[in-house]
Structure 1
Amino acid sequence: MHQDPALEAFCHAFKNLDKTCTKGLENLYTDDVSLTDPLHHIEGRNALMGYYIEMLDNVTECHFATHHYQREGDEACVDWVMSLSHPRLADGRRIEVAGCSRLTFRGERVCRQRDYFDAGAMLYEHLPVLGTLIRWLKRRTRPTPPSH
């Protein structure tokens, strides 16, 4: 695979996140970056850094294991598994959620990021009451295997 320093720097920055790494994240994005995921839409690097600071202030552990990434021109895709521990989710136990980020680069920085992941698996399933309901609904809506 062709080496891509900008994409590799992006993947490396998310390996182990904590409150001290937001400056490194800032260097990955353009001033007018747009990030969209199932839970948020954020415009601008300052707003995005504020989001990261707030998120990282409340988590015990957060890191991303990238399994495959590829870039063609200005477009890139990164497959990842996020491991997250938060004191108010799943009684503080680690949650693992698979996802994918679609990135658009302008030069060496990301100007658009669209993250795809199961928000229920990350958040809602681990809340008291609501989690029980969502897990029940997921079981009920799974296709039944054909009988022979």
Structure 2
Amino acid sequence: MLKDAVDKTHNSQQDSQHPNWLNKFVNIYQTLSTTNLHLLSDIYHDNIIFIDPMHQIQGFNDLSQYFEKLYQNLSTCHFQIDQVIYDGEQAAIYWNMSYQHPKLNRGEVVTVYGNSHIKGNQDKVIFHRDYLDLGAMLYEQLPVFGKFTQWIKNRAAK
């Protein structure tokens, strides 16, 4: 099984060997912005389960509202997909997200690395779980709390 997954590892954004739901996911995420959030309906199943370090959401309507709230305060947000590993009806997506928020990191760009585990059903994504360092994405970007978070990380590393 592991050999099959490794054999299906690709670095290209779109691959004719990937199923359609996976190609759509990769392409849409790399162009996602506040002006085209309607494209989420092209990739997510009505019964989507979405999990990230702060939320667990079930159903497309709730997910759509979550994305609208998330993107409304961002100046920019861009995903770059670095690697796609798939096996049957599931995939691991390795990415970096660069975003700007006026109240985080003095309004400068923040880049966070993460990965997603997704599963397809009926040509759409029915399960999506993100794994990322929430401290690097959020806590370290806050003026006072960021210094405290860095101090904790440094102490833990000793």
Name the TM-score, length of structure 2 as normaliser. Answer: 0.86
Show structure 1 runs of 4+ deviating over 6 A. none
Task: Name the counterpart of 2:117.
Answer: 102
1:31-82 Cα deviation digits (max 9, x unpaired): 1101101111111100000011111111011111111102211111100000
Q: Which moved more, 1:93-102 or 1:65-74?
A: 65-74
Identity of aligned residues (%): 34
Is residue 2:51 matched to residue 1:36? yes
Aligned-partner Cα distance in 2 for 1:111–1:9? 13
Task: Name the counterpart of 2:21.
Answer: 6
Secondary structure in structure 1 of the residue aligned to 2:34: coil
Secondary structure in structure 1 of the residue aligned to 2:68: helix
Aligned pairs for 1:47-58 (under 5 A) are 47-58=62-73
Query: What root-mean-square deviation, in Å, do the aligned CA atoms of Structure 1 and Structure 2 show?
Result: 1.2
Residue ranges of structure 1 left out of the alignment (5+ in a row): 144-148
Task: Name the counterpart of 1:128.
Answer: 143
Residue ranges of structure 2 left out of the alignment (5+ in a row): 1-9, 11-16
Aligned-partner Cα distance in 2 for 1:101–1:3? 16
Task: Name the counterpart of 1:79.
Answer: 94
Letter in 2 for 1:16: T
Aligned-partner Cα distance in 1 for 2:147–2:29? 30
Name the TM-score, length of structure 1 as normaliser. Answer: 0.92
Aligned length, in residue pairs:
143
